[in-house]
Chain A
Amino acid sequence: MSFPLDIAAVFLPLAGAAFAGFGGRRFGDLASNVATCAGVLLSAVFSVLLLASAVHAGPSERVLFAWIQSGGFSANWGIRIDTLSAVMLAVVTSVSSMVHLYSIAYMEREAGKSRFMAYLSLFTFFMLALVTAPNLLQMFFGWEGVGLMSYLLIGFWYKKDSANDASMKAFLVNRVGDFGFLLGIFGFFALFGSVDFDVLFEKAQEMSAVSFSFLGQSFPALTVLCLLLFVGAVGKSAQLGLHTWLPDAMEGPTPVSALIHAATMVTAGVFMLARMSYVFEYAPGALAVVAVVGALTCIFAASIGLTQFDIKRVIAYSTMSQLGYMIFAAGVSAYSASIFHLMTHAFFKALLFLCAGVVIHALSGEQDMRKMGALRHVTPKTYVLMWIGSLALAGIGIYGVGFSGYYSKDLILEAALGRGTGVGVFAYSLGVAAAFMTAFYSGRLLFLTFHGEPREQHLAAEHAHEASWAMLGPLVPLALGALFAGGLASGLFSGEGTETFWNGAIFVLPEHNSMAAAEHVSSVYSALPVVCAVVGFVLSWVFYVAFPEMPAIAATAFGAIYRFVYQKFYFDELYNAAFVRPTRLLGGWLWKKGDDELIDGFGPDGLARLSVRLAKRVSSLETGYLYHYAFAMVLGLAGAVSWFWFKG
């Protein structure tokens, strides 16, 4: 028997987490750091090896043991390895490794370091369990598991109220999504008699004919089920409607943000769409919804990103916007492009967050960009790294040579246009507009933070310092990824070799082949996003370097719109008024009115009042219970005897 690479890759982070979680106190922080970092680093090495073999060998599954078996329902714990899960394994573990290493230095002065490292590793493990799941149920295990870990990590500084609010919000908003996902699982079992991917993939075409009727209307069953799963993705991948948790998740320590945004959580929804491509392809209605929601999220988040001042929030909204690209890519059947962008994004987004972490560290915890400025003299290395990340994010490149994001984002937009549907054109248009905004807010972030004059003298003067190599070191591989990953991998994720590369891991109906069509999109349309991005950068330079009084003028000129966008379209306020407060009021009302007044009033208390009156005549209340009880038995006996009497 050969060495089980897959088991090692998935379970090493769990082992590391267990060591740090249980042994952290006994063996110390150093041992915890070594164990958790070694766990994910080894896992990353094995994942890359697995990727190489999966591309050749095609999908394979290993059953570990039976999880739930109940009549006809069965789901195993297992590991499914194919190109898709192997790509995810490699991306997740490599980014997670860098975050682990970075955290050692970043969290140096914090209490509970072992706990933190254990959480990071456990987070990684849940994500690995998710991507290697052989059935919907194990996917749901990982799905909820990452939700739990985000809850624990966002609320890591549990003495802060804002962190606790944010962590609860993250869990609950995700639970709303999971609610949909769960109903989807139920439906898949009801329809297919199984939740195993193999069975679902095989029978999807057959089941596409099934429909059910509701209120006199007939709905294709697969579309409904796919939409239910997609509700889960909307929650996990912070798409419009269930996105409100993501910006607040910034309350967690910065390495956590990097992990959540780049590797272990928000990508789960995108991955799910690719994993279920065999099924979604037969649910065209669901795909259209996916594309529209993705495109709307893309522009919505980008527009908010233009107005925020918290450095991490800007990056957070940019994540949401980039996830919109990935989601609508899946919606136009360009799953390959979607996963490609997931990969490149993982590198440059982790890089951006960790750079932001350096900045925040340098300024003793300050996150407001209005108080920064001129940091390029203080943290020159971080400045360069942040430029690399931003250019990759904005997708800058020309004639087929550029930063990582250039390849994947262009591919998505071309595929959307190439799909040849109204929805595709819609997604392309919003995507191009968002590309402009992306460049603008990226430039804004860089110029506000690193250029101009230091706006808060004491911050810059007192502590500001470049980070040590312990923190900068892990950024280098990420920067290399942001620079080269796109160019190196574009031959695999697009063009001729794509099908061989995926080797059956994803499926696209021939008539949905937007990836092939992408290559024939007119060069005007494929150049447009890059042009927009360059214009965006230039304009941000004009606004924030050349004429720094411009932003204020613009904000005043578009006062109402600006406030609306700055307040994030008032989603939080709306949800609080529509759901949170009414639910709590209803709970209290049901308790006081329902239980105390209605049920008790007519039930036991009413009876009690009656029997108190009776009992006062018969005996004292204090000794009454057992007596009453015996009385009840006698009464029952009497009833039974009379029954016997009358029947007899």
Chain B
Amino acid sequence: MVSLPILSVLTFLPLIGAAVILLAGNGDEEARARFAQRTALGVSGGTLVLALALLAAFDPSVPGFQFMERFVWIPAYNISYIKGVDGISLWFVVISAVLTPVAVLAAIGSVKKRVREFMIALLVLETMMIGTFTALDLVLFYVFFEGVLIPMFLIIGVWGGEKRTYAAYKFFLYTLLGSVLMLVAVFAMALYAGTTDMTVLMGGKFPKEMALWLWIAFFASFAVKTPMWPFHTWLPYAHVEAPTAGSVILAGVLLKMGGYGFIRISLQMLPDASLVFAPLVIGFSLIAIVYASLVALAQTDMKKLVAYSSVAHMGYVTLGLFSFNRQGFDGAMMVMLSHAFVAGALFLCVGVVYDRLHTREIDRFGGLASGMPKYAAAFMVFTLAAIGLPGTSGFVGEFLSMQGAFLVSGWIAFAAALGIVLGAAYMLWLYRRLFFGPLDKADVRAMPDLNGREIAMFAPLLVLVLWMGVYPSSFINVYAPAADNVLSFFGAQAHEAQHD
């Protein structure tokens, strides 16, 4: 039976769109820019529709991979082109597909130079992201995983702010370390197992000592990407210098590639080594939660503040994953999904005022609640989600992650829960400085409230944040069998928490 290779279509549709922008379109520069914007919006919108169709067609009762595609790619080395999704990767495909059109909308408002190139970069980025999450061959995974960095480098390096050189350099140095080690590990795995088929590599098939080294090599890459403390210092700079659309994708999707890598490779392929290193990861996670929250409290730049809050939130991801039980795993997944929308939205929020006043200094604002009530309301909802208020998406993940950690040790949960107090402190302090107080600066008073385009980019995120907060089961149920599948390697630990 020949069926539509939906995952390949999904992966390469944005790339085709990029090619169209590159080749087609005529008229003056302005017309071509407009054509590029419309094409990017249309193609990323089409990709979203396709991703939602995939979600609808997906059978959540099956734990394994679905929509498999398999072609021999490089026969000499037994490297194949294999694609497939399970419930876990499916959600990452969906967040990529949701956030790209949102980023396009943001870019339409804020990117004024080299518009076509920017749209091309965004679409290439989408191909790379979806490619990463649907790849089931290790080499293919590596190509996409690292390929993401090229358009991201360009987005920061070309369209970035004043210190983009430094930011891109830092980004580069960190990822250099990760990618070199990861590449070595990929080849070592391939040579040992004789295949790069990820479905075959899963289940802890490597000798103990080799697994430990492999784990460390992958850890270097994922820890930088996530980012985990103390590999996080590239993130604040990358965010500050990146244009809004870049930050949305960076925070929304790119950081999740670290978490996804931890699940797919560290947990599924190297479970024994994961158990060995769990105390280290948990220790780093706890430090990340408390440390990054404290540092966020001291920030004067809106984007840096949100960036540090991302580091703290990612602490809950790694904490949950390395608790090796369902609550922890679900916590990690829900934090990642929620953070994709919430952090994406918060960067959009920063972009809204940056577009108007060209500053991100928190103290330049104040009293915005009077002048921009719609903006204030949207920002409030995302703030509440960021501080994990029950009923918003942020709560579900943090709660489950800490619940999972508690089952490992009450003291771990105790330390992690400090983050909920500190998180409320830095977010409300930010909100207060931006929105409350008198509206006494003339240029701030002159800023108009949200326009139609901006409402269009916030609306879907608002709905998702509340939906995920009130009815998270609709998200968890999709990947539940896959999660049990991942945790089956950790039998004893996972069952300890089951109780029923």
Contact = CB atoms under 8 A, between A and B. Distances in A.
A71 B233 contact: no
A179 B234 contact: no
A458 B186 CA distance: 84
B170 A604 contact: yes
Contacts, number: 201
Interface in A616-639: 621-622, 625-626, 628-629, 632-633, 635-637, 639
A599 B233 contact: yes
A182 B421 CA distance: 11
Contacts of B331: 70
B459 interface: no
Contact of A168 (B299, B389, B400, B432): B432
A636 B421 contact: no
A558 interface: no
Top 6 closest pairs, chain A to chain B, by CB: A71-B326, A193-B499, A640-B187, A636-B183, A186-B406, A587-B298
A145 B387 CA distance: 12
Contacts of B390: 137, 140-141, 144-145
B369 interface: yes
Contact of A647 (B176, B191, B429, B432): B191
A637 B183 contact: yes
B173 interface: yes
Contact of A190 (B234, B406, B425): B406
A71 B330 contact: yes
B391 A643 contact: no
Interface in B267-316: 291, 294-299
B291 A171 contact: no
B20 to A, nearest CB: 24
B429 A168 contact: yes
B410 interface: yes
A189 B298 contact: no
B396 interface: yes
- Main secondary structure, interface of A, reads helix
A548 interface: no
Nearest to B429: A168
A70 B326 contact: yes
A149 B297 CA distance: 23
A159 B180 contact: no
Contacts of B500: 72, 193
Contact of B169 (A175, A190, A595, A608): A608
Contacts of B428: 151, 168, 171-172
Contacts of B429: 168
- Main secondary structure, interface of B, reads helix
Interface residues of B, number: 83
A73 B403 contact: yes
Interface in A298-328: none
A591 B295 contact: yes
A7 interface: no
B172 A629 contact: yes
B172 A628 contact: yes
21 contacts: A70-B476, A140-B390, A144-B390, A145-B390, A148-B389, A158-B369, A158-B437, A164-B436, A171-B428, A182-B420, A189-B403, A583-B425, A587-B296, A595-B233, A604-B173, A608-B169, A625-B169, A629-B153, A636-B182, A640-B187, A643-B188
Contacts of A193: 499-500
Most buried by A among B294, B402, B413: B294
A365 interface: no
Contacts of A67: 470-473
Interface string B405-440: 011001001100110111011001100100111110
Nearest to A606: B173
A586 interface: yes
Most buried by B among A66, A148, A159, A176: A159
A396 B10 CA distance: 76
Nearest to A224: B410
Interface string A68-80: 1111110001000
B144 interface: no
A594 B295 contact: yes
A34 B399 CA distance: 38
B414 A183 contact: yes
Contacts of A189: 403, 406
Contact of A584 (B186, B187, B297): B297
A367 B239 CA distance: 48
Contacts of B424: 171-172, 175
Given A588-B298, A600-B233, A644-B191, A141 B391 contact: yes
B251 interface: no
B179 interface: yes
Contacts of A470: none
B327 A70 contact: yes
B179 A636 contact: yes
B150 interface: yes
A290 to B, nearest CB: 21
A547 interface: no
A71 B477 CA distance: 10
Nearest to A182: B417
Interface string B163-205: 0010011101110100111111011100100000000000000
Contacts of B184: 636, 639-640, 643
B153 A72 contact: no
A252 interface: no
A629 B399 contact: no
Nearest to A168: B428
Given A68-B396, A643-B184, 17 more contacts: A66-B471, A67-B470, A70-B400, A71-B327, A72-B497, A144-B390, A179-B420, A179-B421, A182-B417, A187-B410, A190-B410, A193-B500, A587-B297, A604-B170, A611-B173, A626-B150, A640-B188
